[in-house]
C-alpha cells in the first residue's frame, strides 16, 4: 500500500511539472542584458556622452511601457544596459566587449563613438557571435569584411561624400560654387577612405581637388598645412578631425585669418563642446552627424521634450541615432520571440522599422538605409540645412571672415 501511494505521488509530481502553471514559473531572466562600450573619457568623450544619453533615454521609455515582450517567456522583460567606458581607446574597447561577453551574458552589443573603436569592436562581435549595433561611425570598409553580426544605421563614407557635392550643387548656382577643393586628411583608415571618396566624387560633380594634405591624430600645430591649403587657393575645405583636433584646427585658421568659402568638419562639430570652446570661430562649418532634432519623424517630439527636461535644449545630433539603436534592438527581440543571439541577429538583419531617425532597413553588408543630413553651426547652434524638406535654416555661404563675426548670442 505504501509503495502504491509513493508511485502515485511520483506521477502527480511529474505531471505537475508539465502543467502550464509550472511551465509559466520559468519566466525567463529578470532583465534583458545589453552590453555597451562607449567613450565617456578621452578624445571622443563629447560624442560618447550623447550616445550614452540616447541609449538611456530609450531604455527608460521602453521600460516605462513595460519592457520588451519575449514570446518564449510570454511576458514583457525590462532592458538593462551594462555600459563601460572605453576611454576612446580601441584596445579598451576590445577588453570591454570581452568582459561583457564573459561576465554579463549579453544578448547584444552596442557601440560608442568613433570609427576606429567600432572597427575594433566588429571583429570581437564576430568571434563571439554577438549582434553588434553601432552609430556615430562612418567607416564603410569594415562592412566589406564579411561580418555577419555588424549593423549600423548611420551614413557611411560613400553617403557622406556624394551628399557633400549633391548638396552644394543643389543649393548654389553654377558659377558661385566653391569648386577648388582641399582635403585635410587624418592619417587613419577612415581618413584615407573618405579622402579617396571625396577625391573621386569631386571630379564627377564638377569640382577640382587642388590640395590633399595629411596629418596624424593629436597634431598640435596645423600652421604649415593651413598655409599650404591657403596658397593653393582652396575654396572648399573637406576634413574629418576628431573633436580636439578640430578645435585646434579652427583656432589656428582663425589666428591665420584664413576663411574658405565653405568648411566641412565631419565628426569634430558633433558635440556641444565645439561651440563652447570656439565661440564664433566655430560658426559656419558643415558637419554630418546623421540626424537633427527638427526631423519630423515619429517620436522625435517626445524625445526632444525628454531631452529638454534633462539638458535644457532639444536633442543633440547623436542622441537621435543612439535612441534609434535601442528601438531597433527592442523590435528585433520582439520579432525573434527569444533571447537567442542568432535569432536576434536574424531579426535585426530583417529590420524595417520607423524610428526617430526615420525608416530603417539594412543592406546585406550591415550598412543602414538612412537619411544623410547636413548641419551647419550658426550662431553657436546646429542648424539643419539639408535635406531641404527638413531644413531649419538657409545655408550661410560664403562664410564670413573670422574677424567680421559677431559673438554667439
What CATH number does residue 111 fall under? 3.40.50.2300
Distance, CA of 251 to CA of 171 (rounded, Å) = 28
Q: Are residue 111 and residue 226 in the same domain, yes or no?
A: no
**Amino acid 25: pLDDT:** 43
Closest CA to 178 of 200, 199, 209, 224: 209
Q: Are residue 133 and residue 263 in the same domain, yes or no?
A: no
**Amino acid 27: pLDDT:** 85
Chain segment 129-179, per-residue pLDDT in tens: 999 999 999 999 999 999 999 999 999 999 999 999 999 999 999 999 999
Distance, CA of 134 to CA of 71 (rounded, Å) = 26
Beta strand 352-355 with 180-186 is unpaired
Q: Tell whether 332 is covered by a domain.
A: yes
Q: Tell whether 13 is covered by a domain.
A: no
- The SS3 assignment for 164 reads helix
**Amino acid 409: pLDDT:** 55
Beta bridge partners of residue 367, listed in sequence order: 152
Beta strands in 108-201 (DSSP E): 109-110, 132-133, 150-151, 180-186
Residue 257, all three cell numbers:
585669418
Q: Tell whether 278 is covered by a domain.
A: yes
Chain segment 190-227, per-residue pLDDT in tens: 999 999 999 999 999 999 999 999 999 999 999 999 99
Q: Are residue 387 and residue 266 in the same domain, yes or no?
A: yes
Q: Are residue 345 and residue 247 in the same domain, yes or no?
A: no
Beta strand 109-110 with 368-369 is unpaired
**Amino acid 396: pLDDT:** 98
Beta bridge partners of residue 192, listed in sequence order: none
Q: Are residue 205 and residue 269 in the same domain, yes or no?
A: yes
Q: Are residue 178 and residue 251 in the same domain, yes or no?
A: yes
Q: Tell whether 374 is covered by a domain.
A: no
Contact assessment for residue 236 and residue 178, using Cβ atoms and an 8 Å cutoff? yes
CA atoms within 13 A on the CB side of 188: 18
Q: CB neighbours of 164 closer than 8 A, spacing ≥ 6?
A: 198, 201, 238, 264, 374
Closest CA to 241 of 269, 260, 221, 263: 269
Q: What is the mean pLDDT of residues 337-365?
A: 98
Q: What are phi and psi of 351, to 5 degrees?
A: -55, 135
Q: Are residue 77 and residue 138 in the same domain, yes or no?
A: yes
Contact assessment for residue 317 and residue 375, using Cβ atoms and an 8 Å cutoff? yes
Distance, CA of 172 to CA of 200 (rounded, Å) = 21
Mean pLDDT of the chain: 93
Confidence grade of residue 1 (pLDDT, cut at 50, 70, 90): very low
Q: 250: domain range?
A: 157-287+379-404
Q: Are residue 61 and residue 141 in the same domain, yes or no?
A: yes
**Residue located via cell numbers 543633440:** 316
Q: What is the DSSP string of 259-317?
A: --SEEEETTTTSSTHHHHHHGGGGTT-EE--S--TT---TTHHHHHHHHHHHHSSSPPT
Q: Are residue 191 and residue 228 in the same domain, yes or no?
A: yes
**Amino acid 405: pLDDT:** 86
Residue 346 pLDDT greater than 50, yes or no: yes
Contact assessment for residue 73 and residue 28, using Cβ atoms and an 8 Å cutoff? yes
Contact assessment for residue 99 and residue 84, using Cβ atoms and an 8 Å cutoff? yes
Residue 3 pLDDT greater than 80, yes or no: no
Closest CA to 133 of 373, 356, 372, 360: 360
Q: CB neighbours of 364 closer than 8 A, spacing ≥ 6?
A: none
Beta bridge partners of residue 386, listed in sequence order: 374
Q: Tell whether 247 is covered by a domain.
A: yes
**Amino acid 20: pLDDT:** 34
**Amino acid 142: pLDDT:** 97
**Amino acid 81: pLDDT:** 98
Q: Are residue 119 and residue 202 in the same domain, yes or no?
A: no
**Amino acid 402: pLDDT:** 95
Residue 7 pLDDT greater than 80, yes or no: no
Distance, CA of 114 to CA of 135 (rounded, Å) = 9
Confidence grade of residue 99 (pLDDT, cut at 50, 70, 90): very high
Confidence grade of residue 67 (pLDDT, cut at 50, 70, 90): very high
Cα-Cα-Cα-Cα torsion 266, 270, 275, 280, nearest 10 degrees, comes to 30
Q: Tell whether 11 is covered by a domain.
A: no
Contact assessment for residue 381 and residue 292, using Cβ atoms and an 8 Å cutoff? no
Q: Are residue 109 and residue 131 in the same domain, yes or no?
A: yes
Residue 5 pLDDT greater than 80, yes or no: no
Chain segment 11-28, per-residue pLDDT in tens: 333 334 433 333 334 689
> Which segments of 312-374 does DSSP mark as H helices, in order?
319-336, 341-349
- CA distances to 46, 164, 249, 357 from 370, rounded to whole Å, are 23, 16, 30, 8
Distance, CA of 137 to CA of 323 (rounded, Å) = 15
Q: Tell whether 16 is covered by a domain.
A: no
Q: What is the mean pLDDT of residues 298-320?
A: 96
Residue 338, all three cell numbers:
527569444
Residue 8 pLDDT greater than 90, yes or no: no
- pLDDT exceeding 70 applies to what percent of the chain? 93
Q: Are residue 91 and residue 208 in the same domain, yes or no?
A: no
Q: Tell whether 105 is covered by a domain.
A: yes
Number of domains in the chain: 2
Chain segment 265-298, per-residue pLDDT in tens: 999 999 999 999 999 999 999 999 999 999 999 9
Amino acid at each position: 500500500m505504501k509503495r502504491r501511494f509513493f508511485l502515485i505521488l511520483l506521477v502527480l509530481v511529474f505531471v505537475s511539472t508539465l502543467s502550464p502553471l509550472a511551465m509559466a514559473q520559468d519566466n525567463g531572466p529578470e532583465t534583458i542584458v545589453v552590453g555597451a562600450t562607449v567613450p565617456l573619457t578621452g578624445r571622443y568623450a563629447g560624442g560618447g556622452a550623447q550616445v550614452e544619453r540616447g541609449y538611456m533615454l530609450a531604455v527608460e521609455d521602453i521600460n516605462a511601457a513595460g519592457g520588451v515582450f519575449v514570446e518564449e517567456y510570454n511576458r514583457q522583460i525590462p532592458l538593462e544596459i551594462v555600459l563601460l567606458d572605453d576611454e576612446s581607446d580601441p584596445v579598451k574597447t576590445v577588453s570591454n566587449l570581452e568582459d561583457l561577453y564573459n561576465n554579463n551574458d549579453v544578448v547584444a552589443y552596442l557601440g560608442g563613438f568613433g570609427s576606429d573603436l567600432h572597427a575594433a569592436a566588429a571583429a570581437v562581435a564576430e568571434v563571439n557571435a554577438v549582434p553588434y549595433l553601432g552609430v556615430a561611425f562612418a567607416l564603410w570598409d569594415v562592412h566589406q569584411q564579411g561580418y555577419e553580426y555588424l549593423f549600423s544605421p548611420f551614413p557611411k563614407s560613400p553617403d557622406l561624400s556624394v551628399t557633400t557635392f549633391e548638396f552644394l550643387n543643389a543649393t548654389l548656382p553654377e558659377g558661385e560654387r566653391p569648386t577648388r577643393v582641399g582635403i585635410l586628411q587624418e592619417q587613419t583608415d577612415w581618413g584615407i577612405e573618405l579622402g579617396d571618396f571625396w577625391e573621386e566624387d569631386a571630379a564627377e560633380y564638377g569640382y577640382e581637388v587642388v590640395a590633399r594634405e595629411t596629418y596624424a591624430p593629436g597634431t598640435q600645430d596645423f600652421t604649415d598645412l593651413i598655409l599650404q591649403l591657403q596658397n593653393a587657393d582652396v575654396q572648399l575645405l573637406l576634413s574629418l578631425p576628431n573633436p580636439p583636433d578640430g578645435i585646434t584646427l579652427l583656432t589656428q585658421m582663425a589666428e591665420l585669418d584664413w576663411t574658405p568659402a565653405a568648411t566641412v568638419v565631419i565628426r569634430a562639430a558633433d558635440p556641444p563642446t565645439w561651440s563652447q570652446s570656439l565661440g564664433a570661430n566655430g560658426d559656419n562649418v558643415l558637419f554630418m552627424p546623421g540626424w537633427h532634432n527638427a526631423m519630423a519623424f515619429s517620436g522625435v517630439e517626445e524625445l526632444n521634450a525628454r531631452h529638454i527636461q534633462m539638458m535644457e535644449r532639444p536633442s543633440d545630433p547623436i542622441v537621435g541615432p543612439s535612441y534609434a539603436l535601442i528601438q531597433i534592438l527592442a523590435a528585433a527581440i520582439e520579432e525573434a520571440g527569444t533571447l537567442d543571439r542568432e535569432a536576434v541577429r536574424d531579426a535585426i538583419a530583417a529590420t524595417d522599422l520607423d524610428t526617430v531617425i526615420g525608416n530603417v532597413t539594412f543592406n546585406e553588408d550591415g550598412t543602414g538605409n538612412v537619411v544623410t543630413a547636413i548641419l551647419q553651426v550658426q550662431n553657436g547652434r546646429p542648424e539643419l540645412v539639408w535635406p531641404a524638406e527638413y531644413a531649419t535654416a538657409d545655408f550661410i555661404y560664403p562664410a564670413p571672415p573670422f574677424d567680421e563675426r559677431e559673438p554667439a548670442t
